[in-house]
Chain A
Amino acid sequence: MDLKDLYQEIILDHGKNPRNLGKFDNYNKDAKGNNPLCGDNVHVYLRLNENKKVEDIAFEGHGCAISMASASIMTDMVRGKEEKEVKEIVTDFLGMIKEKDSLETNILKEDEKTKLMSLSGVKQYPMRVKCATLSWHTLTSALDNSDQIVKTED
């Protein structure tokens, strides 16, 4: 295990200055997620246009550097993508965080993949995987219009 794999510069940067933090007015989908073990929470807001494209996305919440960075990078990555593409990215990301060595989707460009892979160090810290995945599960829940609050402890 190496802390440098976990706390890469890009993570520290997004953790400290999260992009897309806050709420915007004309969202049409949203969902909440929380981690009852640590009290971290996230609320994802997004606007899907008539072509099912993510026009805008933002999040509110608080948490550790990993969870804030993950939500920040996620929101950057899915803006402008179609719902179907977003779901593919989410599945690919969750697969990578849990087991796979790399990302497989063709939707993301190489530099975007590199950015996402900065979160892969979490794999070596099983207790912290939930920190990285909470906002992604919450995004799925928002897209599926689920009223259920996403919990990491199901």
Chain B
Amino acid sequence: MNIDDIKREFPIFDDKIQNNDLVYLDSANSSQKPRIVVDRIYDFYTKEFSNVGRSVHYLAVAATNLYEQTRVSVQKYINAKDKDEIVFTKGATEAINLVANTFGQKYLSEGDEVLLTELEHHSNYVPWHFLRKAKNIKIEFAEINDNGEVTLEAIEKKITNKTKIISVSHLSNVTGAILPIKEIVQLAHSKNIPVLIDGCQGAPHLKLDMQDIDCDFYAISGHKMYGPTGIGILYAKKKWLEDLPPYQGGGGMINEVKKEGITYGELPNKYEAGTMATAQVIAFNESIKFMEKIGIQNIEKHEKELLDYGLEKLRKNNSVNIIGNPKEKGGVISFTIEGVHPHDIATILDEDGVAIRAGHHCCQILHDKLNLPATARASFGVYNTKDDIDKLDEAINKCKKIFNL
């Protein structure tokens, strides 16, 4: 695959940003969008727009078909057994909230335990914290080791006969650690515990096979997969979607509504109340096609090369400390520079068009554990090149110069 060709598919790189060529190293936060995705939104709104699943006129039927085509594309992309196992949400955050809320309602009561890890994003902690408040459940955290990984043993150590659900990241957005999710699912299932995987960082970078992983729930963020904002996916095994109560009430999710009672719609409508992010769902199909065209194996290989190159380069740069050293690692490099706060690093890098993120990356529990208030993070997407990493390295040197290091 030719990265220059791929990069040309992203209009954001056409023009200078503040007089610089954009070196975009913030894809773990959100990825840039290829032209086909942007165009699809425009075309849908200008030529094909209608609401879905309700009216019978031509546009409504066509829009409904397009909307459902994305469901099938996602099903195939992640190798889910059934298209009804794909629920559209407004993002991965809503997908996790949906599970925490409905599973919590039905299966959690006082004293029950939910097992997370120390490296979870706030969106895989706060929804469970709501249940801690409402139902007096307990939240346990599997510990990270010195490499910034969570091992199968660390998970096993925290499982008790009170553990009712395990919810873990596929890939850490800070250390880049890839968790042994298949083994975690096997272990959990041997104890009859369901597993939710927060796949925000996994789905854009790793091959997904729901039937192989065998997890009960998998949350996906569309905007990190070269797709629009406002679209997420909850994959859930059909038995759970049939068993759990609905999440939000409204139009589209009902079967029959009477004064004396209501029955709910069939899957997948049961979990898609109200008018959904129709244009985004339809455009997300183009993101899937875009990734399929390149091939996830090629994306993985390219990002691994960038990671190895980046790690080698930054390790050679004095006063740069890289956070975590996981054996299985995705395209994320979090780092600190002795004597320069990450926010100052980010501002100085930005001056040269190098866009990174600084802060706690919505992982305060992890940063507390690492005893760091904040880190700087460079994260990769399919459009990044080794040249981007060279520019990062140069900008870090400029930073050191300003701070007289």
- Give residues in A with beta carbon < 8 Å to B: 1, 3, 6-7, 12, 16, 37-41, 62-66, 68, 125, 127-128, 131
Q: Which residues of B contact A39 (CB under 8 A)?
A: 359-360, 364, 367, 373-374
A41 vs B359: C-alpha distance when bound (angstroms): 12
Contact assessment for B359 and A38 in the assembled complex, using a CB-CB cutoff below 8 Å: yes
Contact assessment for B344 and A65 in the assembled complex, using a CB-CB cutoff below 8 Å: yes
Contact assessment for A12 and B404 in the assembled complex, using a CB-CB cutoff below 8 Å: yes
What are 5 residue pairs bridging A and B, where the CB atoms are less than 8 Å apart in the complex? Answer: A3-B347, A7-B403, A39-B359, A39-B360, A64-B344
Q: 1/0 per position for B219-243, CB-CB distance to A under 8 A? A: 0000000000000000000000000
Interface residue from B373, B402, B404 paired with A40 (Cβ < 8 Å): B373
Asked if B358 is at the interface (CB within 8 A of a chain A CB), the reply is yes
A131 vs B344: C-alpha distance when bound (angstroms): 10
Asked if B328 is at the interface (CB within 8 A of a chain A CB), the reply is no
Interface residues in B318-354 (C-beta closer than 8 Å to A): 339-344, 347-348, 351
Find the A residue at minimum CB distance from B358. A38
Find the A residue at minimum CB distance from B375. A39
A41 vs B340: C-alpha distance when bound (angstroms): 16
Contact assessment for B343 and A38 in the assembled complex, using a CB-CB cutoff below 8 Å: yes
Q: Which residues of B contact A6 (CB under 8 A)?
A: 347
**Residue among B342, B347, B367, B373 with the most chain A CB within 10 A?**
B347
B48 → A minimal CB distance (Å): 38
Find the B residue at minimum CB distance from A122. B347
A62 vs B347: C-alpha distance when bound (angstroms): 17
Contact assessment for A128 and B343 in the assembled complex, using a CB-CB cutoff below 8 Å: yes
18 further A-B contacts with Cβ under 8 Å, apart from A7-B344, A39-B364, are: A1-B18, A3-B347, A3-B348, A7-B348, A7-B402, A7-B403, A12-B404, A16-B339, A38-B342, A38-B358, A41-B373, A63-B343, A63-B373, A64-B342, A64-B343, A64-B344, A66-B343, A127-B347
Contact assessment for A3 and B402 in the assembled complex, using a CB-CB cutoff below 8 Å: yes
Contact assessment for B344 and A66 in the assembled complex, using a CB-CB cutoff below 8 Å: yes
Contact assessment for A37 and B341 in the assembled complex, using a CB-CB cutoff below 8 Å: no
A64 vs B347: C-alpha distance when bound (angstroms): 11
A6 vs B344: C-alpha distance when bound (angstroms): 10
A133 vs B367: C-alpha distance when bound (angstroms): 24
Interface residue from B339, B360, B403 paired with A38 (Cβ < 8 Å): B360
A127 vs B350: C-alpha distance when bound (angstroms): 12
Q: Which residues of A contact B358 (CB under 8 A)?
A: 38
A65 vs B339: C-alpha distance when bound (angstroms): 9
Find the A residue at minimum CB distance from B18. A1
Find the A residue at minimum CB distance from B403. A12
Q: Which residues of A contact B340 (CB under 8 A)?
A: 65
Q: Which residues of A contact B347 (CB under 8 A)?
A: 3, 6, 125, 127-128
Find the A residue at minimum CB distance from B368. A39
Find the B residue at minimum CB distance from A3. B351
B312 → A minimal CB distance (Å): 28
**Residue among B341, B360, B367, B403 with the most chain A CB within 10 A?**
B341
Find the A residue at minimum CB distance from B372. A39
Contact assessment for A37 and B359 in the assembled complex, using a CB-CB cutoff below 8 Å: yes
Find the B residue at minimum CB distance from A16. B339
Q: Which residues of B contact A63 (CB under 8 A)?
A: 341, 343, 373
A68 vs B341: C-alpha distance when bound (angstroms): 10
B50 → A minimal CB distance (Å): 38
